[in-house]
Amino acid sequence: MPQNDAYDFPQDLLDAQLALHETRAAYEQYAQTLPWSAEPMPGWKADKQLHSHYVSGKADSPGYTEEQAAEVARFQARLVELSTTVSTHPYWDTLDEGVVLARMALKHALEKPAGA
């Protein structure tokens, strides 16, 4: 894969990609605090797994509160907005070939080199 410095990504594209990474990470962190189901659902318990003492199951889910549902919707709308900004940026039209490799490089363009 080409090195990140092989591309001259415009700053607004780099900024949008960084915002996308940060928003995705924040959303994933927030999602960890949510009930397992958006709607109220009864819990369940499965049978013991063969050759194991593991029994899977879930406690009852109260569903999301209005505030939680609104926050999830806000995150999702922002992720769509940022994804659209990155994927439809005019920079991609300046490349004759290697767009897929360039898009892959953009995802890692702001990473610090190992040992830095």
Q: What rounded mean pLDDT belongs to the chain?
A: 91
Q: Residues with Cβ < 8 Å from 115, sequence gap 6 or more?
A: none
52 pLDDT band, cuts 50/70/90, is confident
pLDDT for the residue 95? 94
Name the 3-class secondary structure at 61.
Answer: strand
Residue 3 has pLDDT above 70, yes or no: no
Torsion sign (Cα): 16, 22, 27, 28? positive
Classify burial at 86, counting beta carbons within 10 Å of its beta carbon; exposed 0-12, middle 13-18, buried 19 or more: buried
Measured CA to CA, the distance from residue 113 to residue 109 in angstroms comes to 10
Residue 84 has pLDDT above 70, yes or no: yes
Per the structure block, which two tokens stand in for 9?
A: 């990504």
CA proximity to 15, closest of 116, 115, 98, 109: 109
Residue 31 has pLDDT above 80, yes or no: yes
**Measured CA distances, 68 to 4, 40, 74, 80, 106 (Å):** 38, 13, 10, 18, 32
Q: Residues with Cβ < 8 Å from 113, sequence gap 6 or more?
A: none
